[in-house]
């Protein structure tokens, strides 16, 4: 049985919720036994497609990758980001896009970035059968309004605003909330105050769970190294070294060797 959204909500205050992003079927297959939740993040626009923000990501991209992750996993709860522009206009627009996302991918829930202004949309979804993961604090889809990817809540007025956002999204019925790029004190205060479990990224161990972009923690997306990313592997270096060794082998005709070829032609009978 796949992990359900209510099961994750029930983990509030208990064993931390383990979450990673995944964008492809083979990566989902590798991560699935070890995590509670696989997040198909719109960060794929930056990590896989080379965009300099998540804004160019489309519904079609999220659906293609969401369906792939679903095919590659059996156990984890699957949550897909609704991309920029697909939900901000109205609750009705958001709901239509979320229904399409669920029908075409088989995912369990969707995630949307937003605070108090988004609470009516969250309530609209939950009343109509779609579990919602919230996302407050640093919201990458608002990079042009924020003027960069800066941590939120350094000053008390901004901290109060993020707290009010988290409370509104939790009270609207979100089953969990991503809290991104906030001070430890604020993450702890939000986690203590809201009913929904908090999933932190750059938000300290004071949250009910953690998420990282998998390519960041594997050292595959090497250009990105903010302080909240812990490197658990250096796969970027492994890939470079493998490519270099292959190139040298091809140029020197060391590859392919006798063990890599189909043998000799036999005389027809």
Ligand X SMILES: CC(C)C(=O)C(=O)O
Ligand Y SMILES: Nc1nc(=O)c2c([nH]1)NC[C@@H]1CN(c3ccc(C(=O)N[C@@H](CCC(=O)O)C(=O)O)cc3)CN21
Chain residues binding ligand X by CB under 6 A are 21, 39, 41-43, 81, 178, 180, 201, 211, 213
Work out what residue 32 binds among ligand Y, Mg ion, ligand X, none; the CB cut-off runs from 5 to 8 Å by kind.
Answer: none
- Contact status, residue 133 vs residue 114, Cβ threshold 8 Å: no
- Contact status, residue 208 vs residue 17, Cβ threshold 8 Å: yes
Residue nearest to ligand X (CB): 41
The reply to whether 180 belongs to the active site is yes
- Contact status, residue 93 vs residue 139, Cβ threshold 8 Å: no
Full DSSP string of 104-134: HH--SEEE--BSGGGHHHHHHHHHTT--EEE
d(CA 91, CA 184): 32
The catalytic residue among 123, 180, 234, 241 is: 180
Helix axes 91-105, 119-127, angle to 10 degrees: 50
Residue indicated by tokens 């608002």: 142
Q: Which of positions 44-63 make contact with ligand Y (CB under 6 A)?
A: 46-47, 54
Work out what residue 67 binds among Mg ion, ligand X, ligand Y, none; the CB cut-off runs from 5 to 8 Å by kind.
Answer: none
State the nearest-atom distance from the C-beta of 81 to ligand Y, in Å. Answer: 10
State the nearest-atom distance from the C-beta of 212 to Mg ion, in Å. Answer: 12
So which residues are the catalytic ones? 180
Residue ranges of the annotated binding site for Mg(2+) are: 42, 81, 113
Binding residues for ligand Y, rule: CB under 6 A, are: 43, 46-47, 54, 138, 140, 148-151, 181, 213, 216, 221, 224, 226
């Amino acid at each position: 049985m796949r992990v359900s959204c209510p099961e994750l909500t029930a983990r509030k205050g208990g064993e931390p919720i383990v979450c990673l992003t995944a964008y492809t079927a083979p990566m989902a297959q590798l991560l699935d036994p070890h995590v509670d939740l696989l997040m198909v993040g719109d960060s794929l626009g930056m990590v896989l497609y080379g965009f300099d923000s998540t804004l160019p990501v489309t519904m079609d991209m999220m659906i293609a990758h969401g369906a792939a992750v679903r095919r590659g996993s059996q156990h984890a709860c699957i949550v897909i980001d609704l991309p920029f522009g697909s939900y901000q206009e109205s609750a009705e627009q958001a709901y239509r896009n979320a229904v399409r996302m669920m029908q075409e991918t088989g995912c369990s829930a969707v995630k949307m970035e937003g605070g108090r202004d988004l609470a009516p949309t969250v309530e609209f979804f939950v009343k109509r059968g779609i579990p919602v993961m919230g996302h407050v604090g640093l919201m990458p889809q608002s990079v042009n309004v924020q003027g960069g990817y800066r941590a939120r809540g350094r000053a008390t007025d901004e901290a109060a605003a993020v707290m009010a956002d988290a409370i509104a999204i939790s009270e609207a019925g979100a089953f969990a909330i991503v809290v991104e790029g906030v001070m430890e004190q604020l993450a702890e205060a939000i986690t203590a105050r809201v009913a929904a479990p908090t999933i932190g990224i750059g938000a300290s161990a004071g949250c009910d769970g953690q998420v990282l972009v998998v390519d960041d923690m594997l050292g595959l997306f090497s250009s990105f190294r903010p302080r909240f990313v812990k490197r658990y592997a250096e796969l970027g270096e492994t890939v470079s070294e493998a490519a270099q060794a292959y190139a040298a082998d091809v140029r020197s005709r060391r590859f392919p060797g006798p063990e890599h070829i189909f043998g000799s032609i036999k005389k027809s009978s």
